[in-house]
């Protein structure tokens, strides 16, 4: 059962939201139909106010971030032609294709030296040459070189790909990766689960039920994970709700999800954007805030709702801190995937910029580890100066 949340119903201007506000106050779970109402109500501020109340009940004014570094070891991907929303992947012989050697991965990881980076977020394409040994060697070497750094790596889609090319079960792949140093799974690869949507945007990709199955297997092994939803392309509101319902159901079953991160679709430099005739920013600020707020309200069994500022800008992320968001993607060194599809945000944010963003929203910044344990609270006078800044060199 969700917790009862104090809320002033007079803040709602849309009568259709009232029964939802009453459920919030009573600690009752929202239905699929409630989710549709939240997605369609003209009263975005009312939706946001409820999400803010639900968030405050869990986290007060605290907003967390983790200092992480993205490493994308290969952009070679067998699904390059069928994931039409992706601008990052290349075929093996295509211009721009790359696959890092272990030494290149280690050289990139050394950017973490002398910084506050505590997590490597490692994802890439479905490359036939990067099987289990490629990743187990990589994780072992990374753990030896940076023992303090958490490894959040390989989406459900990549796990299933490795299992297929190695002719192993997904469970055995996860066990081997964990032995090599894998700590948690990121949430990528989910897109939108609906079969009709997948047929249009990611025809050959691991299906929604299988994505859930890989996460279930991981959770049962004690490997926690994040989850995402790609929105703002061809999906309907019902598709979004089906997706959120599947995530909420698995969370009821395992409790293994750490955070939910809605991802705004970017249309530049990918086939889908051309087909839809869209360029620039595809989602609206309204839709970005609404997706975050609905995530907070509907996913009552999730502790953390994260805004990926790279996708929706840091300005919108700041406002989202009043729409149910309690966590922001931290200092992301050398992000490549969204910058391949037209994200115009910087490739990283400094610690000082992050603190300014959070404080500017009237919130209290706290650095967390990858399991959401708070490592450091920042008092108003504390600018984290004694901690080396992660991105100064990297964003140049
Ligand atoms: O699965 C690909 C998305 C995802 C586009 O777990 C696109 O902490 C928008 O999942 N427009 C990978 N999005 C990134 C991801 C993620 C990011 C940050 C934090 C975490 C976490 C996970 O990027 C892919 C796909 O959904 N993506 N192309 C595009 N054109
Ligand atoms: Fe490959 Fe992932 Fe891009 Fe699909 S979204 S083409 S699986 S890298």
pLDDT per residue as tens digits for the range 299-351: 999 999 999 988 899 999 999 999 999 999 876 554 455 556 555 555 567 88
> Quick check: 83 pLDDT over 50?
yes
**Index of the ligand 1 atom closest to the CA of residue 88:** 28
In a 13 Å sphere around the CA of 5, the CA atoms on its Cβ side amount to 28
> Quick check: 396 pLDDT over 60?
no
- 205 close to ligand 1 (CB < 6 Angstrom): no
Per CATH, the number for 61-395 is: 3.20.20.70
- Report pLDDT for 113: 86
- Report pLDDT for 225: 98
The pTM score is: 0.94
What letter would DSSP give residue 20? Answer: H
> Quick check: 163 pLDDT over 70?
yes
pLDDT digit string (tens) for 85-116?
Answer: 999 999 999 999 999 999 999 999 998 888 77
**Index of the ligand 1 atom closest to the CA of residue 273:** 30
Q: Which residues contact 101 (CB under 8 A, 6 or more apart)?
A: none
Could you tell me what percent of the chain has a pLDDT over 70? Answer: 92
Question: Which residue is closest in CA terms to ligand 2's atom 5?
Answer: 86
- 188 close to ligand 1 (CB < 6 Angstrom): yes
- Computed on alpha carbons and rounded to an integer, the radius of gyration of the chain in Å comes to 20
- Report pLDDT for 394: 28
Encoded tokens for 282: 């595809």
Which of 72, 78, 88 is the pocket-test mutation for ligand 2 (most atoms within 8 Å of CB)? 88
Confidence band of 58 (pLDDT split at 50, 70, 90): very high
List the end-to-end C-alpha distance of the chain, in Å, as a whole number: 48
Q: Which residues contact 309 (CB under 8 A, 6 or more apart)?
A: 316, 317, 328, 329, 345, 349
> Quick check: 359 pLDDT over 60?
yes
Would you tell me the crossing angle of helices 32-40 and 18-26 to the nearest 10 degrees?
A: 130
User: Strands 374-377 and 364-368, how do they pair?
Assistant: antiparallel
- 310 close to ligand 1 (CB < 6 Angstrom): no
Mean of the per-residue pLDDT values of the chain: 92
DSSP string across 206-267: --HHHHHHHHHHHHHTT--EEEEEEESSS--HHHHHHHHHHHHHHHHHH--EEEEEEEE---
> Quick check: 370 pLDDT over 70?
yes
- 79 close to ligand 2 (CB < 6 Angstrom): yes
Which of 81, 83, 162, 204 is the pocket-test mutation for ligand 2 (most atoms within 8 Å of CB)? 83
Question: Which residue is closest in CA terms to ligand 1's atom 16?
Answer: 188
What letter would DSSP give residue 367? Answer: E
Question: Which residue is closest in CA terms to ligand 2's atom 4?
Answer: 83
**Index of the ligand 2 atom closest to the CA of residue 82:** 6
**Index of the ligand 1 atom closest to the CA of residue 191:** 26
Q: Which residues contact 362 (CB under 8 A, 6 or more apart)?
A: 61
- Report pLDDT for 200: 97
> Quick check: 387 pLDDT over 70?
no
Mean pLDDT of 169-192: 98
The strand ranges marked E within the chain are: 62-71, 119-122, 150-153, 225-231, 257-264, 304-307, 327-333, 364-368, 374-377
**In this predicted model, which residue has the larger pLDDT, 258 or 69?**
258
Domain ranges of the chain: 9-58, 61-395
CB atoms within 10 A of CB 269: 15
Could you tell me what percent of the chain has a pLDDT over 90? Answer: 82
Q: Which residues contact 214 (CB under 8 A, 6 or more apart)?
A: 156, 159, 160, 170, 185, 206
What is the 189 CA–ligand 2 centroid distance (Å)? 8
What is the 249 CA–ligand 2 centroid distance (Å)? 26
User: Strands 225-231 and 150-153, how do they pair?
Assistant: unpaired
Mean pLDDT of 4-29: 98
**Index of the ligand 1 atom closest to the CA of residue 85:** 30
């Amino acid at each position: 059962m969700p917790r009862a949340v104090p809320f002033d119903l007079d803040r709602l201007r849309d009568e259709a939201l009232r029964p939802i506000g009453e459920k919030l106050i009573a600690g009752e779970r929202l239905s699929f139909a409630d989710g549709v109402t939240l997605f369609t109500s003209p009263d975005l501020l009312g939706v946001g106010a409820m999400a803010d109340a639900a968030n405050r009940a869990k986290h007060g004014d605290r907003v967390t971030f983790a200092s992480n570094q993205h490493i994308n070891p290969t952009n070679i991907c067998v699904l390059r032609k069928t994931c039409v929303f992706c601008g990052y992947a290349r075929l093996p012989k295509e211009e721009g294709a790359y696959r890092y050697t272990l030494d290149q991965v280690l050289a990139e990881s050394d950017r973490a030296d002398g910084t506050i980076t505590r997590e490597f977020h490692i994802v890439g394409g479905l490359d036939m040459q990067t099987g289990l040994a490629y990743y187990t060697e990589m994780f072992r070497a990374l753990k030896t070189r940076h023992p303090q750094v958490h490894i959040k790596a390989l989406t459900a889609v990549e796990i299933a790909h490795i299992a297929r090319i190695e002719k192993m079960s997904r469970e055995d792949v996860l066990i081997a990766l964990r032995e090599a140093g894998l700590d948690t799974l990121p949430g990528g690869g989910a897109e939108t689960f609906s079969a009709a949507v997948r047929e249009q945007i990611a025809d050959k990709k691991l299906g929604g039920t299988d994505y859930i199955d890989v996460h279930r297997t991981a959770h049962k092994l004690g490997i926690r994970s994040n989850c995402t939803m790609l929105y703002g392309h061809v999906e309907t509101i019902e598709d979004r709700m089906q997706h959120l319902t599947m995530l909420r159901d698995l969370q009821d079953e395992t409790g293994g999800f750490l955070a939910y991160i809605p991802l705004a679709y970017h249309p530049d430099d990918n086939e889908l954007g051309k087909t839809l005739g869209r360029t620039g920013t595809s989602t609206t600020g309204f839709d970005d805030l609404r997706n975050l707020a609905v995530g907070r309200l509907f996913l009552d069994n999730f502790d953390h709702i994260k805004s990926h500022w790279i996708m929706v800008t840091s300005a919108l992320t700041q406002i989202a801190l009043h729409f149910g968001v309690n966590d922001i993607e931290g200092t992301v060194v050398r992000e490549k995937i969204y910058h391949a599809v037209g994200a115009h945000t910087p490739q990283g944010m400094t610690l000082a910029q992050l603190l300014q963003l959070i404080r500017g929203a009237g919130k209290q910044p706290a650095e967390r580890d990858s399991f959401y344990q708070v490592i450091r609270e920042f008092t108003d006078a504390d600018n984290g100066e004694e901690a080396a800044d992660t991105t100064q060199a990297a964003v140049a």
